[in-house]
Structure formats: C-alpha cells, structure tokens
Amino acid sequence: MLLAPLWVATVGYGALVSVLSGDWVAATLSFLSAAAMVGGICFRNFGAPRLVAVMIFLSLGPCCIGALLAGEPTLWLTLLQIPFYLFAMSAAAWRLNGMLVSTMKAKQENDRRARHNELTGLLNRAGLFAAVRSCELAETGAPPMFSGSALLYFDLDGFKAINDAHGHEVGDTLLALVARRLRHVSDEGSLVARLGGDEFVIVTPPHADPLALADTIVEELAKPFHADGETTALSIGVSVGIALFDHDHDELDGVLRDADNALYEAKRAGKRRWVMAQRRVAKMREVRALVA
C-alpha cells in the first residue's frame, strides 16, 4: 500500500524533472509514460478506488506543475486534460469496485441460499454436512470434532393434519415458529437444521446433555403455537431420535442413520417422546459418568 504511491510518485517526479530540464524529447516521453500508466493503475487496483485516485494524482499532478513552470503555452493543455484523466479513471475504478462488491455479495447470498432453508433460515441438509465438514477440517490432527456430541433427529407429530386442515401457508408459518423455538432452546454452538418437510436436526456441542435437551424440546413443542390470522391455537408434538458421535462412529451419515432409526422407535412407542439409539446407550452412560 505504501510502495504503490511511492512508485507512481517517482514517475511524476521524473516527468517534472524532464520538463524543467528543457529537453522536450525527454519531457514528451515522460508525459506519455505517466499518462500511459493511468489505465493500468485503474484496472489493476480498482478494488481500492481511493488508492487509484491518489496514485493517478501523484503520477500526473507533477506534470501540471511542470507545465506551469516550463513557460511553454502548448503544455498548458495538460491542465485541461489531466483533471479529466483523474476524474474519468477514478470514476471507472469506483464503478468497477461496485461491480466487484455486488458480485461478491451475490456469491455470498447464493452460497447462503444453497446451504440454508429459505422458509426457516436454518441449515438445510447440504448446509449441515458442510458445517460438520468445516469443523472437522478446522480440527485436523485433533480428536474428532464432534466426539462427545449428540445428534437429535425430530419429526413433528400432527403436523400433516394441521397442514391439510388449514392450508400450506399456515403449515409454513408453523414450521417457521418451530424453527424459532428450536433455536431458542438449543445450546450455543449447536447446529440446527431442517432436512425437509417437518424433519429437523440438532447437533449439540461436545459434552452437552442431549437427554435434557430432548426433554426440553418435547415439552416446548407441545405448547400451543399461534399463527398469524388463526383464531385457534395450533397444537403439535414431536418425536425425537438421539444418536451419539464417538471415536468409533463419527461420520455424520452413520450417526444420522442411527438417530433416524431411533426416531421411528419413538414413533412406534406412541410418539411425543425421545428414544436413544440402542447401541449408543452404554456410551451415553459412560460420557455422563465422566462429566459427573
């Protein structure tokens, strides 16, 4: 950042010295060199338009001073040309910078939409897998990032009946309200996702208490919801399947599959309850004993 203005300042200083020397060949070449640099300055540095304006001023400003001191009326034309150069190329740099920023924002927004559910604002399936993968990469060489964590897989009980009776708009509103409650009750650092339909997932931080969280969620989602425009409260329940990450089983696909199986066990057992994947129960007891 410092060397770039210093470099163009030497070009401007060279043009000034050349014109004051009285050697018009050298003066003409130095003026042309300074002018030729303007396009390169603009298009190479348009990410920093203020820097572009400073660099153009430092390279061409001494030419104006030289034109005034040389006593050659022909060179006074530069007093008209150079301000236009400065304005036009600085404006071009601002325009290109605006296009760059717009492109970056559009890319970020597209990435966000690709990884988040539009209705609830939660992670979608791709976003959940990407978040877990990024955490694993951040912990390369360390123990598995989610060792000691749990995955809670939710399916709403009674949602289809409400969706059929009140319409998809009310159903969408209900899903958004459910997502809000899940964010509210989940621990800081949790990954909260909607996989599709009325299925949600929470990946807890290491050594959080997934059973207490499951109890809280079953209790919270059993409370009535009030959708805009609906005079009657909407009541649903939730069934929860729980599976643990550990050193022997830390792949998201496998843990998700275990939690899904436990979820259907909860459904078969009467709904509105949680069930832990059976081969995880012993591990859960071991983790809780260590925490205690």
Q: Are 191 and 203 in contact (CB under 8 A)?
A: yes
Range list of H helices, the chain: 3-21, 24-44, 49-70, 78-115, 125-138, 159-166, 168-185, 210-221, 252-268, 278-291
Q: Could you confirm whether 198 is annotated as catalytic? A: yes
Q: How far is CA 94 from CA 83, 100, 182, 262, in A?
A: 16, 10, 44, 57
Catalytic residue among 155, 157, 198, 260: 198
Strand partners, 155: 199, 239
Q: How far apart are the first and last CA of the chain?
A: 55
Judge residue 203's burial from the number of C-beta atoms within 10 Å of its C-beta, 0-12 exposed, 13-18 middle, 19 or more buried.
buried
Q: Just list the catalytic residues.
A: 198
